[in-house]
Structure 1
Amino acid sequence: MSKSKIRNDKTCLNCRYVVENRFCPNCGQENTDTRKTFHHLFIHFFEDLTHYENAFWRTIKNLLFKPSALTKEYLSGKRLSYLAPVRLYIFISFITFLLIAIFPSEINSPEKNLEKESTITTKNKSFQNTISQNDSLKKSQTASKEDGELIKFGYDSVEQLDSIQKNAPKSEKMSDFNYWINKKIQIVKEKNTQSEIIEKFISSFTHNLPKVLFVFMPIFAFFLWLFHNKKRWYYFDHGIFTLHYFSFLLLIFLVLFLINKGLSPFAELSLVSFIQIISNFIGIGWMIYYFFPAHHRFYGETRFISFIKSSLLFFINFILIIIIVSLFAIYTFINLH
């Protein structure tokens, strides 16, 4: 319940009904002052999301350790004792984005900047000492073929790449796609060290992974709908199950992120490194296993049928999420700078 002061005026600001107590008996609006400090605004936002402290912790406990319990309770009509599924997912996403943004990145540390400057200087000297552009072209590594054309990588600079593309014989010139890929890779390599590329990629991927999960949720619910009785289960039911399951995945992801970030300053200690490995193993293992008991308990099928269906669903969605994540990884690399 809000701790804001009750207005002296007994007229409801929403429906103009006479309010004798805290809440209007006609529309339910709380009869408190509408002008709030930032502190009150933040507290109200948090209280609105968590819907009282007991409900919040009860929801988190059931979400983590009782697969499908929240979904069954919600669909049975017990909705005031727990956070609503959409509100739960939004709240966990909000906390995830906030904490990931708060943690400082190691990419722009002074040591990294010195390493970057040193690497750029080395690359410039290497380019100046290049004997000839044709020799470098011959040393380029062949990665794959596309439409019968060799796709080459390993140039010393964007300038060299542009020069080769402009002056090389027509038969040796790259296609537009080949040239674009090489130029993008070369730009990223020149502006970043190898460790910076990895760190930036992981950082961007981590920041946007919750968005990928959000986009994938309707697809996940659709496959649940395909695999189960259409008369007994509505798409809405599968949607609630999906919201709770993905809230669980995001929450475990957040917990592992916090553990690894918190222990990273002490990672050189063997004991801390061992704790990180064990926590990651347990967390990822629980994320994978969780779906099977959740599916069995919610849909109420025999263990054998439930295992077959959940295995097929897990495999199908695993392939789809790999494809989506791979496309997202490519998109992330293309947008590195």
Structure 2
Amino acid sequence: MSHNKIREDKTCLNCRHVVEQKFCPNCGQENSDTRKTFHHLFVHFFEDLTHYENAFWKTIINLLLKPATLTKEYLSGKRLSYLAPVRLYIFISFITFLLIAIFPSKVSDQINDNGKEISENIIKNSKNKEFKKEADKYFKMKSMKEIDSIQKYGPEDKKLNAFSYWVYEKAVHVTEKNTKKEIIEKFIESFFHNLPKILFIIMPFFAFFLWLFHNKKRWYYFDHGIFTLHYFSFLLLIFLIMFVVDRLIGLFGEDSPLSFISTLVSIVGTIWMCYYFYPAHHRFYGESRIVSFVKSVTLFIINSLFILFLLTFYVLYTFINLH
């Protein structure tokens, strides 16, 4: 229940209708004072998202443990008992990427440390000489002066086409201006910064593939869109839980006996993320288990390839735009 101060004026600020009680009978707007403190705005933001009552926790529990329940309830008309799909996704996204923005260093440090360890192992391992040679070639590229000379005077089979020349020019610029460590750090930072955009790009295509695989008369694209919003909200929520547990356990140090909890949560979370789509698909679309399994696996493969396709272009975009 809201604790906003009720206005003495009985005229609705939204539609100018006479308000005899707390809410306008014409448009539903609360007849409260519109001038708020920052504290009130902050509290109101979370109150609005969680509906105050038990809607928030009810939504979270169903999202985590009962695949497709939220989607079925929403499409059946039971919408006030749970957070709306878009609001749910925005809320989880906000919390997830806020925490990632606040605690990015550990992610970078871990990947940099792992990258350093891998590089050292490669150097020590004689079987990986060819790989090391190729890696060195990548970070020790020809200068643009050499490339331009080849383009002008070299044999045809050594010359680059227009697109390859443009990419190579960008790559040379990046490797000349940044060390290997800086390139990795900037890539990681850019990846997490742009992850929300990637997810938003993927979601409508994910819903489109669902639409292609199901009865067009029974299911509208809107239905698949709601299913997709709930599924992606689940994926983000699992990621958020694993992230928070990892950070909390990390406060006790890497050698803490509690570290196994973080590992266990990550393993269980990853398995549940991979399996979740099948029961969600089966319960929502109501098809036989065999049909649901075949469609789930097929859709998983298609979407994985599509995501890989998008990420390939994203990696290129990120690499080109390093400064």
What is the TM-score when the length of structure 2 is the normalising length?
Answer: 0.81
Report deviation, 1:61.
1.0
Hey, what's the Cα distance between the residues in 1 that align with 2:254 and 2:170?
35
Equivalent pairs, count: 297
CA RMSD across the alignment: 2.9
Report deviation, 1:315.
1.3
Q: Does 2:147 correspond to 1:155?
A: no
Hey, what's the Cα distance between the residues in 1 that align with 2:28 and 2:69?
30
Report deviation, 1:12.
2.0
- Tell me which residue corresponds to 2:126: none
Counterpart residue type for residue 153 of structure 2: K
Change (3 A) 1:300 1:107: closer
Hey, what's the Cα distance between the residues in 2 that align with 1:107 and 1:192?
20
Counterpart residue type for residue 182 of structure 2: E
Hey, what's the Cα distance between the residues in 2 that align with 1:42 and 1:281?
35
- Tell me which residue corresponds to 1:83: 83
Deviation track 1:179-238 (CA, whole Å, cap 9, x = no partner) reads 544443344334443333223212221222222111111111111111112222111111
Alignment of 1:205-224 (within 5 A): 205-224=191-210
Query: Secondary structure at the residue paired with 2:4?
Result: coil
Query: Secondary structure at the residue paired with 2:82?
Result: coil
Report deviation, 1:99.
2.0
Change (3 A) 1:99 1:53: farther
Tell me if structure 2 keeps the 8 A contact 1:210–1:250.
Answer: no
- Tell me which residue corresponds to 2:26: 26
Q: Does 2:272 correspond to 1:289?
A: no
Report deviation, 1:328.
1.3
Hey, what's the Cα distance between the residues in 1 that align with 2:314 and 2:291?
34
Report deviation, 1:103.
2.2
Indicate the structure whose relative CO is greater, using CA pairs within 8 Å and at least 6 residues apart.
Answer: 2
Counterpart residue type for residue 143 of structure 2: L
- Tell me which residue corresponds to 1:277: 263
Tell me if structure 2 keeps the 8 A contact 1:107–1:200.
Answer: no
What is the TM-score when the length of structure 1 is the normalising length?
Answer: 0.78
- Tell me which residue corresponds to 1:72: 72
Tell me if structure 2 keeps the 8 A contact 1:153–1:182.
Answer: no
Report deviation, 1:64.
0.9
Tell me if structure 2 keeps the 8 A contact 1:296–1:306.
Answer: yes
Which structure would you say has the larger Rg? Answer: 1
Counterpart residue type for residue 81 of structure 1: S
Alignment of 1:243-322 (within 5 A): 243-264=229-250, 268-269=254-255, 271=257, 274-322=260-308
- Tell me which residue corresponds to 1:148: none
- Tell me which residue corresponds to 2:220: 234
Hey, what's the Cα distance between the residues in 1 that align with 2:288 and 2:7?
57
Deviation track 1:30-78 (CA, whole Å, cap 9, x = no partner) reads 1111111122222222222222251111111111111000001111111
**Unpaired runs of 5+ in structure 1?**
113-140, 144-151
Hey, what's the Cα distance between the residues in 1 that align with 2:95 and 2:54?
18
Hey, what's the Cα distance between the residues in 1 that align with 2:101 and 2:165?
35
Query: Secondary structure at the residue paired with 1:301?
Result: coil
Counterpart residue type for residue 164 of structure 1: E
